[in-house]
C-alpha cells in the first residue's frame, strides 16, 4: 500500500451539479488516462465516476498533494477555468497508503455512498478497473488491491445488514416518479441505454408501463433495451425530429453537455403545453437549466434525493460498526499478503540463478571431471544435482515466509 494514492471529489464536499463538470466523456477517457499516466510517470491508474463521485486511483512513489492534484486535473480536464479548478482543489480529498486502501474498501462497501447500502458501487468500481486493465493502464499492484476490494465488499454485504431492504438512487428516483401517478400507458422517452436506465426500466416494467421510445448514441444498445420494453429504438439524433409527444423523459447518459436543450424540448412537446416529468440521473445533468426555467416540469434529479439519503443513513447507522470491523480485518490480511508478495517478487530470480550455477559447474568448472565419469555415475550425479537444485530453490522461500510469520 506504500504507493497507493487516491484523488477524490465526492458529494460530501461538492454539489452534485458541480461534480458533473469533472466527468470525462467515455469516448476520450482511455486516451486521456494514458496521456496523464505518461506525463506524470504513474505506473498504474484507473478512474471512477458515478452519480456522486469522481476519483482517480493510482500507484506512484511520488508525493500526491494538492499541488500535484491541481497539475494533474489541469492536464486531465483542460476545460476548467482557473477559478473553478481552485474551487475543486479546495474540496478535493487526497488519500495515501493505508488510508487510501481504507477509503477504497469503504467506498466498495457503500459506506461512502450517497445511499449507504446500495450495491451498485461495487459493480461500478469493478467496471472502472476492468476498463483500465483492458487498456493496459493497471498492473499487478492494482490487481491485488482490487481482489481485496471485491472480497471485502462481498463480506460486508453478506455478513451485515447494511444492504438489507436495499435502496438505491434508481429506486428512490422511481418512488418519486411513482408519486406523480402517471398512467400505465404514459408515453415515456428513455434517453441512454446504460445500466442506470436499464435498472429503472425494470421498475417501469414491473408496474406495467408499456409505451416506450428508447434513444441512444449506439442504436444497437437502444434496440436491445427497446426489445425488452416492447418499445421503439432510435439514435440520439432522432430526438430532434421525434414528433409523437411524451409524458415523461427518463435520461442518463455520459454526455458532458446537455442533451435536452430548449430547442429539442420544444420540438419533443409537439405543440403540447401541459406539465411534463423529467427524471434526470446523469452527472452532469442531461437537461439544460433553461428548460426548467422556460417550461412547466416535474424535475427529479440525484441532488433532490439527499434528504431521503440522510434518513437512510440513520436507519443503517448500527451496521456501520460491523462493516468497519470487517474492513479492519481485511486490511490486516492485505498487509500480510503484500509482504508475502514482496518476498515472491524478490525471490523470483532465485531459480534462474541456481540453474546458471548448475550449468556453469557441469559445463565449465568441472567439465573435465564430469566427462571422465561413466554413464551410471553421471546419472547418479544428475539425480543429486536435481535434488539439490530443487531444495536450494524452495528452502530460501520457506525460510523467508517463516521469518515473515514470526515477525507478526
Residue 35's domain is classified under what CATH number?
Answer: 3.30.460.30
Q: Which set of grid coordinates corresponds to residue 348? A: 523470483
Give the confidence band of 48 by pLDDT, cuts at 50, 70, 90.
Answer: very high
Does residue 383 lie within any of the structural domains?
yes
Is residue 13 domain-shared with residue 68, that is, in the same domain?
yes
Is residue 16 domain-shared with residue 148, that is, in the same domain?
yes
Q: Is 53 a known ligand-binding residue?
A: yes
pTM score of the predicted model: 0.69
For the ranges 116-120, 123-127, 158-162, 367-371, the one whose mean pLDDT is highest: 123-127
User: How many structural domains compose the chain?
Assistant: 3
Is residue 160 domain-shared with residue 173, that is, in the same domain?
no
Counting other chains too, the contacts that 43-46 makes at CB distance below 8 Å and 24 or more residues apart are 43/3, 43/139, 43/141, 44/137, 44/138, 44/139, 44/141, 44/142, 45/132, 45/137, 45/138, 46/128, 46/129, 46/131, 46/132, 46/133, 46/137, 46/138, 46/142
Q: Is 231 a known ligand-binding residue?
A: no
Q: Is 25 a known ligand-binding residue?
A: no
Does residue 362 lie within any of the structural domains?
yes
Q: Which set of grid coordinates corresponds to residue 254? A: 455520459
Does residue 315 lie within any of the structural domains?
no
Is residue 142 domain-shared with residue 22, that is, in the same domain?
yes
Average pLDDT over residues 65-78: 87
Is residue 225 domain-shared with residue 159, that is, in the same domain?
no
| Residues annotated catalytic, as ranges | 51
Average pLDDT over residues 76-92: 82
pLDDT value of residue 405: 54
Q: Is 336 a known ligand-binding residue?
A: no
Q: Is 139 a known ligand-binding residue?
A: no
What pLDDT digit, counting tens, does each position of 299-312 carry? 998 877 777 777 76
Amino acid at each position: 500500500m506504500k504507493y497507493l494514492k487516491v484523488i477524490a471529489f465526492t458529494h460530501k464536499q461538492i454539489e452534485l451539479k458541480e461534480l458533473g463538470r469533472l466527468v470525462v466523456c467515455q469516448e476520450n477517457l482511455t486516451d486521456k488516462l494514458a496521456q496523464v499516466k505518461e506525463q506524470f510517470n504513474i505506473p498504474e491508474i484507473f478512474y471512477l465516476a458515478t452519480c456522486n463521485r469522481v476519483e482517480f486511483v493510482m500507484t506512484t512513489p511520488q508525493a500526491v498533494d494538492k499541488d500535484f492534484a491541481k497539475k494533474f486535473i489541469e492536464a486531465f480536464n483542460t476545460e476548467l477555468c482557473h477559478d473553478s479548478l481552485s474551487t475543486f482543489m479546495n474540496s478535493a480529498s487526497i488519500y495515501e497508503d493505508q488510508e487510501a486502501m481504507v477509503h477504497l474498501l469503504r467506498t466498495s462497501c457503500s459506506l461512502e455512498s450517497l445511499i449507504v447500502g446500495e450495491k451498485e458501487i461495487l459493480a461500478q468500481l469493478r467496471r472502472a478497473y476492468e476498463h483500465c486493465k483492458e487498456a493496459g493502464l493497471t498492473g499487478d499492484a492494482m490487481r491485488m488491491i482490487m481482489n481485496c476490494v471485491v472480497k471485502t465488499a462481498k463480506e460486508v454485504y453478506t455478513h451485515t445488514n447494511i444492504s438489507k431492504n436495499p435502496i438505491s438512487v434508481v429506486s428512490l428516483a422511481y418512488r418519486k416518479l411513482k408519486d406523480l401517478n402517471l398512467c400505465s400507458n404514459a408515453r415515456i422517452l428513455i434517453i441512454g441505454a446504460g445500466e442506470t436506465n436499464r435498472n429503472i426500466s425494470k421498475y417501469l416494467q414491473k408496474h406495467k408501463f408499456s409505451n416506450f421510445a428508447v434513444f441512444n448514441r449506439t442504436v444497437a444498445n437502444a434496440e436491445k433495451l427497446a426489445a425488452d420494453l416492447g418499445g421503439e429504438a432510435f439514435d440520439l439524433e432522432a430526438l430532434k425530429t421525434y414528433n409523437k409527444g411524451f409524458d415523461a423523459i427518463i435520461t442518463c447518459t455520459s454526455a458532458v453537455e446537455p442533451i435536452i436543450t430548449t430547442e429539442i424540448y420544444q420540438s419533443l412537446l409537439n405543440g403540447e403545453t401541459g406539465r411534463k416529468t423529467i427524471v434526470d440521473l446523469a452527472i452532469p445533468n442531461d437537461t439544460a437549466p433553461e428548460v426548467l426555467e422556460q417550461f412547466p416540469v416535474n424535475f427529479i434529479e440525484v441532488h433532490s434525493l439527499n434528504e431521503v439519503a440522510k434518513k437512510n443513513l440513520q436507519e443503517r447507522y448500527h451496521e456501520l460498526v460491523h462493516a468497519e470491523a470487517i474492513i479492519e480485518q481485511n486490511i490486516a490480511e492485505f498487509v500480510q499478503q503484500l509482504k508475502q508478495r514482496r518476498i515472491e517478487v524478490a525471490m523470483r530470480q532465485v531459480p534462474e540463478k541456481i540453474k546458471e550455477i548448475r550449468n556453469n559447474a557441469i559445463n565449465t568448472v568441472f567439465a573435465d571431471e564430469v566427462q571422465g565419469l561413466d554413464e551410471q555415475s553421471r546419472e547418479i550425479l544428475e539425480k543429486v544435482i536435481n535434488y539439490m537444485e530443487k531444495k536450494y530453490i524452495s528452502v530460501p522461500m520457506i525460510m523467508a515466509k517463516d521469518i515473515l510469520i514470526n515477525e507478526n
